[in-house]
Amino acid sequence: MRPHPSAMTIAGSDSGGGAGIQADLKTFSALGVYGTSALTAITAQNTRGVFAIEAVSPAVVSAQIAAVLADIPPQAIKIGMLASPEIVAAVAAALRDYAGPVVLDPVMVAKSGDALLAKEAETALIEALLPRADVLTPNLPEAARLLGRDAARDIQETEAQGRALLGLGARAVVMKGGHAEGPSCIDLLVTPSGVMAMEQPRLSTGNTHGTGCSLSSAIAAELAKEADLPDAVRRAQEWLHGAIRAADGLGIGGGHGPVHHFHEVWR
């Protein structure tokens, strides 16, 4: 019997359940994909902020990845919060022989503004993992930070920064438009062969905790189901738009609440 599609997330934990590894596993489940995981860090956080972070040892991160790859090989892998240069190196080494698609979400700062990636880890991320990424999914501030530039101010600058990130080794880049302004949220899929714009109406809600994690894990889930990249990104964006649209109905927490991962399932 052919195994059910599976995807793996390598990321940090969000004790509030809205982002990080919890959001990734919810996304995989919502999209019909079996989820496995390797935990890189434990965070004490809720919808109001991040109160403590403790990184997992690189050896244990490596062991988690090896255990999953040996028995439940994923059809796609999503990488999120990595915390330290040592964990970046451990993940890069553990995935050296992995042949499937890798979606890299360069998680640097939480919705609350708290740092989730040590400054010294940024160079390690660029050198060791960015060239391994089949899809890189930065928001506009993250893209600017990776490139050492100011954040893109319009669609032309967004495209130019996407192409610059291709120059650093990523095979494709999804420039997320959530931090831009205007009535529409436009994500750009930038590849060596061209640019595809995907547009959704911008929704008025404060409950957007975990949107970046959820989009990248949704792309990984669709790739695990053997969608081609443009379709995977389009389906992921449409699903996330629905999760944001339904977020206010959850009523979770008193700060930046989570998106509704199971908006297509819960009644």
Positions marked active-site: 176, 208, 210-213
Tokens, residue 42: 């434990």
Instruction: Provide the pairing of β-strand 50-55 with 34-45.
Output: antiparallel
DSSP 178: T
Task: Categorise residue 20: left if φ over 0, alpha if ψ from -120 to 50, beta otherwise.
Answer: left
Which residue type is seen at 42?
Answer: I
Closest CA to 250 of 210, 191, 199, 194: 210
Residue count (the chain): 267
Radius of gyration, CA atoms only, the chain: 17
In angstroms, the CA 160 to CA 74 distance is 33
